[in-house]
Structure 1
Amino acid sequence: MKLFTKPKSEEDKLIEGCIAGKRDMQRLLYDLYSKKMMVICLRYAPTTFEAEDIMQDAFVKVFGHIQSFKKDCPLEFWIRRIVINTALKHLRSKQLLTVSHEADEVANLSSDNVNLSGYTMDELLSMIQSLAPRYRMVFNLYAIEGYSHKEIGEMLDISEGTSKSQYSRARAILQGMLVGQEKKIKEHVISS
């Protein structure tokens, strides 16, 4: 009696090739995910140069630990987690991840909604990169990566309230930038 065995998926073959150290499979994995992961690195790093360093370190970790990948989550999610953790570790080592405990700042924040449709991804990324590292980290982890404030607090060794405060402050700063940009555009149109 023959048992039915599920054929290997392309992803399974890719993972097996990477575990075996096959350079062509490692290159394929890198090519499949590098653009998405570089966007993540750019959101966390203050410069493109540092983002490239984070990316390189992260993929070294991916290839060094690919044998521990478990299929209980998508491969992209697993790689993303390594990239984020590598970025946080990099910023801690550079002492760029000093989190402020400014709880009273939340009281002065605006909750105006701003239309993002007129901005390119590069413009929005540039605004996020201009945030102080402590605000950028919490903003990225909460607004983009989807972590809860409790999880962020544990990751960054801060309180949940501090995470909320940092996120609110980052959001207010970004809103201020967007409103400032909108005013400049309106003034340019009027003066033209």
Structure 2
Amino acid sequence: MKLFTKPKSDEDKLIEGCIAGKREMQRLLYDLYSKKMMVVCLRYAPTTFEAEDIMQEAFVKVFSNIGNFKRDCPLEFWIRKIMVNTALKHLRGKQLLTVSHEAEEVSNLASESSSLTGYSLDELLSMIQSLAPRYRMVFNLYAIEGYNHKEIGEMLDISEGTSKSQYSRARAILQGMISRQENNYKNVISS
């Protein structure tokens, strides 16, 4: 009696090829995910150059550790997690995760919520990249990656309350940027 075995998916074949060290499979995996992962890295890095460095370092980790990948989560999620952790490690190494002292700027910003419609991905990334490193990290981890403040605190070695405060400040700064851009646009239209 022969047992039915599930045919291998394209993703399974890709993973197995990468585990075997096949360059063409590694290239295919890189080509499939590099654009999405570059966007992830750009959210954390202060410059495109640093984002590229982070992404390259992270893909080296992906290929080195793909044999440990457990298929209980999507491959893209696993790669994204490596990208985020590599970005955090990179920025910790550069000591860019020190506490920011922008309280005066935060208190002067408008706290009203603004709409994000009409903004391109590049404009939003630029706004996020302009945040101080700690604010950028907490904002990305909470608002985009979906970590809670307790997890963020553990990842960044800060308290849960500090994470909440940093997120609140980051949001206020971003809302202020959006408000200023909208006001500039209105002034241009009315003149």
TM-score by length of 2: 0.95
**What is the one-letter code of the residue matched to 2:45?**
A
Gaps of 5+ in 1: none
Aligned residues: 191
Gaps of 5+ in 2: none
Alignment of 1:129-140 (within 5 A): 129-140=129-140
Deviations 1:63-106 (A, max 9, x none): 00000000011100000000000000000001111135999x99
Give the Å deviation of 1:111.
4.3
SS of residue matched to 1:84: helix
TM-score by length of 1: 0.94
**What is the one-letter code of the residue matched to 1:123?**
E
User: % of aligned pairs identical?
Assistant: 83
Please identify runs of 4+ aligned residues in structure 1 that moved more than 6 A: 105-109
Give the Å deviation of 1:107.
8.2
**What is the one-letter code of the residue matched to 1:9?**
S
Q: Take 2:99 and 2:156, find their aligned partners in 1: how far apart are those partners? A: 8
Alignment of 1:168-187 (within 5 A): 168-187=168-187
* Structure 2 equivalent of residue 113 of structure 1: 113
* Structure 2 equivalent of residue 189 of structure 1: 189
1:56 aligns with 2:56: yes
SS of residue matched to 2:182: helix
Give the Å deviation of 1:25.
0.3
Contact 2:106 2:172 in 1 (8 A): no
Cα gap change, 1:146 to 1:187, in 2 (>3 Å): same
Root-mean-square deviation (Å) = 1.9
**What is the one-letter code of the residue matched to 2:70?**
K
